[in-house]
Chain A
Amino acid sequence: MNESLIEVVQGRNNPMIDPSLHIWGWEIPVYLFLGGVVAGMLVLSAALALRDRDGPRSKALQTAPLLALGLLSVGMAALFLDLEHKAYVWRFYLAFKAASPMSWGSWILLLVYPAGIMMGFGMLDSDRRAALLDSRFVRGLHLRSLVMCILGRADAARRGALWAGIIAGSALGLYTGILLGTMVSMPLWNTAVLGPLFLTSGVSTGAAVLLLLPLSTGERHVVARWDMAAIFVEIVLIVVMLIGFATGGHASHVAFSQLVDGPSASAFWALVVVAGLAAPFTLEAIEVRRSLKPLALTPILVLIGGLSLRWILVIAGQASSWANIP
C-alpha cells in the first residue's frame, strides 16, 4: 500500500516530552561545551608542560589549568541549574553506577579538580606562587599552610600530576561524548562517532582558548598545529557520521534528515561545518604556512563551532527521539 496515508492522534502530551522531546535546554550544551574545553585545556597544557621539560613557560600557560577549573565550575553550575530536583544533588555521590555515563561523569568531575589543582600548582613559577599565597582569597580563609602543603606535593610528583591531568582531562572529554552517544533512544546521538567527535572537538576548543591567551610564540605554534590536526579529525568524523546515517536503517534516516533538512540543519552546516571547522582550518593553514601574525578570529570561530556542535546536536538529537516516532 504505497498510497496509504497515516493519521496519528498522540494523546500523551506530557510537558517536555511532547510534541517533541525538549528536556534539555541551554544548560546541557553549555556544560558539554565547557567540559570539552576544559578537557582540551588540561590535556594540551599538560602535554606542553611535559614536552618542554623545564623550558621557559609563558605566564599564560602556567595559569591555564586553574583557569580551566574555573570554566569547569561554570559548566557545573549550568549542570546544577538543569537539575529538576536540586536538593537531591548529593545523591550522585551515594552511588556509582557502572552502566551510567552520567554516574561516571559525576565521579570524573570529582577527579578533575584535584588533578587540575596538582598539575596547575606544579606548573606555577615562584612569582605566581608568591602571588597566590599573598592573594586575598588564601589569606582571608587562612589557607596558607594548606596551599603550601599542596604546592609541596605537586612539586614532588610533578610528572605524575601532569599525567593525572592528561588522564582526567581525557576522561572528561570522552565522557561528554559518551553521555549522549549511549542513548539508543536518539538515533542522532546513538552513533559510535559521537564520543570521539566530542573528544576531538574538546581538544580543538581547548586549544582555541589557549590560543586566545598570551602564549609564547613557540607554544602558540604547537597548539595551533594540534588544533589543525583536531579539526581535521573532526571533519573526517562528521563525514563518517553522515555516511553512517545515510546508509543506515529507518532510525538513521530520521537522524540524517535532522541534519540535512530538519529545523537545525542550516545552523549545523553554517555554524558547525563552515564557520566552526572549514573556516578556522583554512585560516590556520594560511597562518602556519605564511607565518602570519595569528588572528583572534580563528580561535573564536573554533569556539563558536564547538558550542554550536553541542547545542545543535542536543536539540536535533532530542528532535530525533524514538519517543516522538509513533
Chain B
Amino acid sequence: MTRLNRRQFIQIGGAAAGGLAAGVGLSTKWYGLDPDEVADPGTDGDRVVPSFCEMCFWKCGILAHVKNGRVTKITGNPAHPLSRGHLCPRGTGGIGLLYDPDRLKRPLIRRNRGQMQEFEEVSWDAALDLVAEKMLKIREKYGPEAMALYSHGYGGSWFKHLLHAYGSDNIAAPSYAQCRGPREVAFHLTFGRMVGSPENTDMENSRVITLIGSHLGENMHNTQVQDFTRAIERGAGLIVVDPRYSTAAGKARYWLPIKPGTDLALLLAWMNVIIGEGLYDHDYVEKYAFGFDRLKEHVRDRTPEWAFTRTSIPPETIVETARFMAGGRPASLIHPGRHTTWYGDDTQRLRAIAILNALLGSWGRKGGLTLPSKVKLPKYPYTKYPGQSKNPPDMPKGTVYPLANEILSQGLCMASIPGTAAYDLKAWLVYGTNLIASLPDPDATRKALQALDFVAVVDVLPTEITGWADVVLPEATYLERCDEVHTPAYKEPFLAVRQPVVEPMYDSKPGWWIAKELAHRVGLDDYFPWKDSVEYAMYRVKHGGFDCEELKRTGVARGKHVPVFIDDGLEPVFDTPSGKIELYSQTLEKAGFDPMPEYTPPDEPPDGHFRLLYGRSPVHSFSRTTNNRFLCQVVSTNEVWVNAQAAREMGLRNGDMVRLINQDGVVSEPLALKATQRIRPDCVYMVHGFGHNSRLLKFAYKRGASDSRLMTRYKVDPIMGGTGMNVNFVRVEKAA
C-alpha cells in the first residue's frame, strides 16, 4: 500500500493560462520620403533609475531605462565601483526576468482534494494569515527553532530579521556549504580573515594570476572579469589549472589539464619548489608567518616527480610554473576561487592555496589580496532579538564539523527528516533559493520536504521548490522593490541603494512588505517600526552622514578611501591564535585535523565512467535564469563536454543526443554531446541550472539536463561540513 505523501511535488495548476501578446508595438512613425536615415530605436528612457542588480549575487550598479512605464534596457552605472559602466550578460537580461510571462503572479495555497493536491489562488490576506497561523502553532508546539529559513539573495534580509525576531537563528543558504564555505574557513584559519564577496583580490594589478578551477569568463562576476582582463591587457601571465580548457585557459600562458581532484598534490609540489629554491618572500614570511620551518619540512618530499604521478602534470611544468609565479611576487595571486566544495577535502586544498599566497607574500599586497573595508552605517534601532536557546541542528547526530562558521544548509535539510538530528525541524520558510537544484542528493531534499509540517516559499518564478510549498508568496523582482542598503567590504568602500524602477507587476509584493505583514500577524510589530523599506534605508543612509536625495539620483556613494595594502601603510592584523599568518594551523591541530594540508587521492571512476564536472555559462545564473527568454536567445540549453577521442571510442559524434547515467543508475534528461579537444578524457562537463522539470517554467521545462539530479553522492568536508559534489561518475549513452 502506498501512503499518500504529506507533500508531493505538484505544478501550480490551472491559473497560469494567460497568453501574453507577443506583439512588439508597430512603429507609428510617419515616414516622409527621405527623412533622417539614422533611425533611433528609441530605447533611451524617459526616466533612468540607478539601482543594483540581482541577477546573481554580485550586485553591480545598474541604470534602468524606463519608457512609457516599461523598462527598455538595463545598462551599467559608470559611478558604481562594481560595474564601472559595464555589465555581464545577465545584468542586461533583467528585463527577461521582469517580463517573464511565467512569473508567479498571485499568492497560492496548497489544497488537498481527495487523493489530489493542487494550488489555489488566494488573496494576500488569506496567504499571510495561513503562514502566520502556522508560525504561531510551530512556536507554541515545538519552539521557534523548529522553523528554519533558507535565504539566498539580497531581499532575504527582511526574512532573516523576521526569523531572528521570531526566535529562530536556524538560517542557511546554499552559498556556504555548497559554495564558498571551505574557502572562508581556510582563509580564516590562515589569515584570520575571510575572503568574502566580492572576493578581496586585486587582479588588475597582478603580474601573475593562477586559477585553480575558477573559470573566470564563464564565472561572470562582472568586476572580477573586468580586473582579470585588465591584467591580461597589461601583460600579466596566467596559469590555469583545470581539467577542461576553459575560456580562461584559452588565455593562459600555462594550461595545466590536471587530473580532477588532485590539485592539492600540485599545490604541495609548488610549495616544495618555491621553498626549496628559496623563491618565497623571505622578509614577508619572516615578519608575518607562523610555522614556516614545519611547512618546509612538511613539503620536503612533495616533489614535482611525486606530484606528477598524482596529477599527470609533468615535473618540468610544475617547476617552470612555480618559478613563473614566484617571479611575479608579491603581485602574484593564487585565486581563492569561489565554488570550492569539490571533493570533501576542500578546506585543506584551500588552506594550501592560502599558504601559497602567503609564501608569495601576496596577502595584503598590490596585485595580490586586499584588506578591504566597508562604509559603516548605523543599524536601525530595533528591539533586541530574543536569541535561540538551542544550538542549530545542522549537524546530524554523530557528526561534528567543528570549524563551520555558518549554518550548514544540507545539515538543516537532514534535520528535517525526523530523528536524525538533536531536534527536528518542522517548518521551512524558503526565500530565493531553489533547493531542489542547489542541494546535492535531491532525493533527500524531497524526503525532508515531505516530512515537514509546513513549507512557505517566497519566490519570483515557479521553480521546482515552489511545487513543494504549502504557501507560495510571489515576490516583486529586484526591479520593482527597495531592499537593504548595500555596503560591502571592498577596496574602495561605497554604499549603494536598490530603488524600485517600476511598480510591481501582477499581485506581487516586495519582500519587506511580506515580512512586515507576517511580523504584524505574529505579533512582532516592534521589529518593523518603519513605514516601508525606503524609510528604513533612508534612516540608515542619513544617519551614516550621506545625502539621501543625491543617492537617489546616483544610486551609489563612496566612502572615505582607506589603505587596503601593506605597501600603503596598512598594518595587517591576523585574527589567528598566533596573531600571525598560520602556515601551521594551531586551530586545526587542536581540532584534530592535519595542521598542514595533506594530499588524499580521489576515488577512481568505475570502468566506463567519467567524473562529472559542472560549472557556469556566462549567460546564466544557476537555475534562476534558464527560463529567461531574453537571455536564452544566446544560450538556451546545456550540452555535455566529452573528450573527442573518448566520444569516438564510444561511437558517439558531436551533436548526438545522449543521456548520462550515474553510478547509482540515475538517468539524466537527454542533452546534446559536445565532442571536443577541450577536456581530459577522464571527465565530462556540463553547465549547471538546466533540465527543469517544473512545467510552469514554460520555456525552460525539459531544456537540457540537470547536473543536480546526478548528484546522488557527495563527500562532506570533515572540517566544516561543505558538501563536495565533484564525486559523481557517469556513463554516456546515446538517447533513444
Contacts and interface: CB of A to CB of B under 8 A. Distances in A.
Q: Do A and B come into direct contact in the complex, CB within 8 Å? A: yes
Interface string B146-179: 0000000000000000000000000000000000
A7 B634 contact: no
6 contacts: A5-B644, A5-B677, A7-B676, A7-B677, A7-B678, A11-B634
B428 to A, nearest CB: 41
Interface string B668-679: 000000001110
Contacts of A11: 634
Contacts of B678: 7
Interface in A1-15: 5, 7, 11
A135 to B, nearest CB: 40
Contacts of B644: 5
A15 to B, nearest CB: 13
Contacts of A5: 644, 677
Contacts of B677: 5, 7
A148 B595 CA distance: 112
B645 to A, nearest CB: 11
A11 B677 CA distance: 19
A269 B678 CA distance: 41
Interface of A: 5, 7, 11
A11 B636 CA distance: 12
B727 to A, nearest CB: 29
3 nearest CB pairs, A to B:
A7-B676, A5-B677, A11-B634
Nearest to B644: A5
B156 to A, nearest CB: 35
A77 B426 CA distance: 74
Nearest to B654: A7
Q: Which size class do B's interface residues fall under?
A: under 10
A260 to B, nearest CB: 25
A11 B89 CA distance: 15
Nearest to B635: A11
A87 B678 CA distance: 50
B456 to A, nearest CB: 41
Contacts of B634: 11
B270 to A, nearest CB: 31
A5 B645 CA distance: 12
Nearest to B33: A94
A5 B678 CA distance: 11
A11 B678 CA distance: 18
A5 B654 CA distance: 14
A5 B634 CA distance: 25
Interface in B650-704: 676-678
A53 B644 CA distance: 75
Nearest to B677: A5
A311 B676 CA distance: 37
A11 B617 CA distance: 14
Nearest to B634: A11
A7 B676 CA distance: 8
A14 to B, nearest CB: 11
Contacts of B676: 7
B634 to A, nearest CB: 7
Nearest to A5: B677
Nearest to A9: B674
Nearest to B675: A7
Contacts of A7: 676-678
B92 to A, nearest CB: 16
B30 to A, nearest CB: 15
Interface string B438-472: 00000000000000000000000000000000000
A11 B634 CA distance: 7
Nearest to B633: A13
Nearest to A94: B33
A5 B644 CA distance: 11
B644 to A, nearest CB: 8
A220 B89 CA distance: 70
A5 B676 CA distance: 10
A10 to B, nearest CB: 12
A164 B676 CA distance: 63
A28 B644 CA distance: 41
B377 to A, nearest CB: 43
A141 B676 CA distance: 71
A316 B226 CA distance: 44
A89 to B, nearest CB: 16
A211 B324 CA distance: 83
Nearest to B676: A7
A20 to B, nearest CB: 16
A7 B655 CA distance: 12
A15 B677 CA distance: 29
B636 to A, nearest CB: 10
A5 B245 CA distance: 15
A11 B676 CA distance: 17
A93 to B, nearest CB: 13
A10 B634 CA distance: 11
A11 to B, nearest CB: 7
B677 to A, nearest CB: 6
A254 B677 CA distance: 26
A120 to B, nearest CB: 37
A267 B676 CA distance: 34
A11 B635 CA distance: 9
A87 B177 CA distance: 62
B678 to A, nearest CB: 7
Interface in B627-653: 634, 644
A146 to B, nearest CB: 32
A7 B641 CA distance: 13
A11 B618 CA distance: 14
A5 B675 CA distance: 12
B663 to A, nearest CB: 29
A7 B642 CA distance: 13
A7 B639 CA distance: 15
B171 to A, nearest CB: 41
A299 B559 CA distance: 88
Nearest to A7: B676
A7 B678 CA distance: 10
B635 to A, nearest CB: 9
A98 to B, nearest CB: 20
B440 to A, nearest CB: 30
Nearest to A6: B677
A11 B644 CA distance: 21
A87 B647 CA distance: 52
A11 B619 CA distance: 13
A156 B677 CA distance: 78
A164 to B, nearest CB: 33
A217 B238 CA distance: 85
A114 B682 CA distance: 75
A270 to B, nearest CB: 30
A94 to B, nearest CB: 8
A113 to B, nearest CB: 26
Nearest to B678: A7
B686 to A, nearest CB: 16
B75 to A, nearest CB: 22
A7 B644 CA distance: 11
B388 to A, nearest CB: 51
Nearest to A4: B677
B438 to A, nearest CB: 28
Interface in B591-648: 634, 644
A7 to B, nearest CB: 6
B633 to A, nearest CB: 9
B607 to A, nearest CB: 28
Interface in B69-115: none
